[in-house]
Structures are given as C-alpha cells and as structure tokens.
Amino acid sequence: MLNKNNSDKDNTVTRRSFGRPRGSKNKPKPPIVVTRVSPSAFKSNVFEFASGVNIAESLLCFASTHQRGLCVLSATGTITDVTLQQGDGTNMVFRGQFGIIIMNGLFVPPGSSPSGLTSLTVYLGRDHGRMIGGMVVGPLVASGPVMVMAATFANAIYVRNPLSNNHNDEDGLLGGFGGGDDGNYNSFGKKGGSSSKMCN
C-alpha cells in the first residue's frame, strides 16, 4: 500500500516565480563619456572687447585665424562713431555713443567661396528713444566693455537653389574655407584673401 504522504508530495507542482526578486534594484548604467568632439560641431564662444577695439575687424580676424565660420547671435555694450548702410544702399555716418540693441551677422575667412557671406548688422539705441540700424560698412569701435555671443562652425555645406534633379545639390563644403582672393571686398573695407595685417 502506497504511503499517502508520498503520493501527495509527488503530485505537488513546484511553481517558479516570475519577475524581479523583492528588494532588488536596477544596476546603475555607466555614464556616456564623449572622448572626441567633431571638428564640424557648433561651438559657443563669448567674446569680450575692451574700449577702443574694432569689434567687426576682430571677429573677422578670429574667423580667419581659426579657419572657422562665426555666427553672431547677440551682443551688449556701447559703441562709438559707426557707418551703416541703409536699405537703399546709401551709407550714413553716425557719431556719438550708442547702446547695442541687436547685433547679428556671419563671418567666414577671407577668400572663402562663395563670396559675399560676411556681413554684420546692428541696431543701436540712443537718448530719447532714438534707434538706428543697418549693415556695418566701416569700423565698429567699442566705447566700453562689449560682450558678443557667437557660435563657430566648420565644414558647412553649400547648397545651390533651386534644387536640381540630379541629386547632386551639394556643390561643396565651406569647411576648408579654401579658394583664392576673388578681388571682392568684405563689409569692413578689407580686401578678401590675406588678413595678416589686420590680425597683428
């Protein structure tokens, strides 16, 4: 005769529990460390200019020395005696001190192709709520501490529009910023190509 206790033990089904054991925790994941930064990545820069420094010329010199494009995002401070090109193409000289309200522009190393990319636009305020603005076509000299926020980049892709149908719309990279002097003058009265005198 079979033992009843043994038969009950044989008929018992062992169930395996599913899920995470009580009290367990997720293992911490190792942090992601970037060990190499792409040279084409945007980089933020804050430029400080002392009184008497030509801001436009200094930014162009930076772009030429580092062979990177520079996009001006904003600025604060005061400048003195500026020449601005108006919408109808006329140049107007404004003398005195002006507070910077808006400043934006693009600088590429001299001699880059395509030409005509470098420009700087400012809107300035004065007493009694007077505001002037236009494209800088002469020196932009700081009359006190000026802070400029900008982003630099390299290897920008030049796309010619309208887009063609041959799927080869990327005419080339601006990252090398190569190309010789095409004889054009940038907005600051300096001939494209060499800027060694300007940077000294």
Residue 169's pLDDT band (cuts 50, 70, 90): low
> CATH assignment of 43-153?
3.30.1330.80
Q: What are phi and psi of 77, to 5 degrees?
A: 135, -170
For 124-135, what is each residue's pLDDT tens digit?
998 778 899 999
Report the alpha-carbon distance of residue 70 to residue 109 in Å, rounded: 9
C-alpha to C-alpha distance for 44 and 128, rounded to whole angstroms: 35
- The H or E element that residue 8 is part of is helix 4-11
Cβ atoms of residues 110 and 126 within 8 Å = no
The pLDDT tens digits for 102-143 are 999 998 877 665 666 789 999 999 877 889 999 999 899 999
Q: What is the pLDDT of residue 113?
A: 59
Tokens 């932009």 identify what position? 140
Give me the pLDDT at residue 192, please: 40
Peptide bond just before 162 cis, omega within 30 deg? yes
Distance of CA 29 to the CA centre of its chain: 33
Whether the per-residue pLDDT at 2 is higher than 60: the answer is no
Residue 20: CB atoms within 10 A of its CB come to 9
Q: Where are the domains of the chain?
A: 43-153
Tell me the pLDDT tens digit for each residue of 14-55: 666 666 667 666 777 788 776 676 767 788 999 999 999 999
The length of the chain in residues reads 200
